[in-house]
Amino acid sequence: MVQREFNPVIEAINNRRSVRGYELKPVPKDIINMIIEAGNQAPCMARLEKGEAVQPWRFVVVEDAEFKKKLVQTTLPIWRKSMESIKDALPETYADVMRLYETLDEPKDMVYYSAPVILFVIGPADNAISCALACENIILAACSLGLGSCYVGFGSMVKGNPDVVQTLELKADEQIYGPILLGYPKDEIPEARAIRWKKRKPMIKWV
């Protein structure tokens, strides 16, 4: 029998937000490991390694302040260039992004939002669906544990920095899925920094 009154999984799905404002306090390692294990439980197309079926993904947890600076220095110019490209073509979107920019504390980090944890999900380019499923598990697990999260596409654009590539141990056939920001949401976050786009009703065909 389906329990309709309360279901914690459905609650986590409905309550999840893309959070862009975090408390400056660390996330305990046991909680990070619990979230990663949730990602590791995602369904996947397993890969064969030495005759054994294994999950296609791996994880890199970034907490080091100096390495975070390298990530920001690598990705922020890409973000700025992208914003310039939409300034005239998509003025409303550009205005929304600039409003978000104005709410940020200095130094303004429009890619990783000064999150205490940046979790890279890394896997082969031919396992994109499996790795995306792992990311979804991570985001929902974080929400269920009272953490904020944000999936940041610009954060994956780091392959132009050899030092970053070396630290992440990125191989030529690997992609970054995410990364995912994790941390405790600030008590008072401007609406522009805790975004959940309005969803249209699902399009369904019953056969």
Strands 174-183 and 47-49, how do they pair?
Answer: unpaired
Above pLDDT 90, what percent of the chain? 55
Residue 20 CB-density burial (10 A; 0-12 exposed, 13-18 middle, 19+ buried): buried
pLDDT at 189: 58
Domain assignments of the chain as residue spans, ordered by start: 36-42+56-73+111-186
Give the model confidence (pLDDT) of 178-205 as tens digits: 899 999 998 765 555 555 567 788 889 8
**Rounded distance, CA 162 to CA 144, Å?**
36
CATH classification for the domain delimited by 36-42+56-73+111-186, as one of 3.40.109.10, 2.60.40.10, 3.40.50.720, 1.10.10.10: 3.40.109.10
Q: Report the predicted TM-score, pTM, of the whole model to 2 decimal places.
A: 0.87
Give the model confidence (pLDDT) of 93-148 as tens digits: 888 888 888 888 777 888 999 999 999 999 998 899 999 999 999 999 999 999 99
Do residues 111 and 79 make contact, with C-beta atoms less than 8 angstroms apart?
yes
**Rounded distance, CA 38 to CA 40, Å?**
5
Q: How much is the mean pLDDT over the chain? A: 88
84-93 b/e (C-beta count within 10 Å ≥ 16 → b): eeeeeeeeee
3-class state of residue 44 by DSSP: coil
**Rounded distance, CA 134 to CA 122, Å?**
10
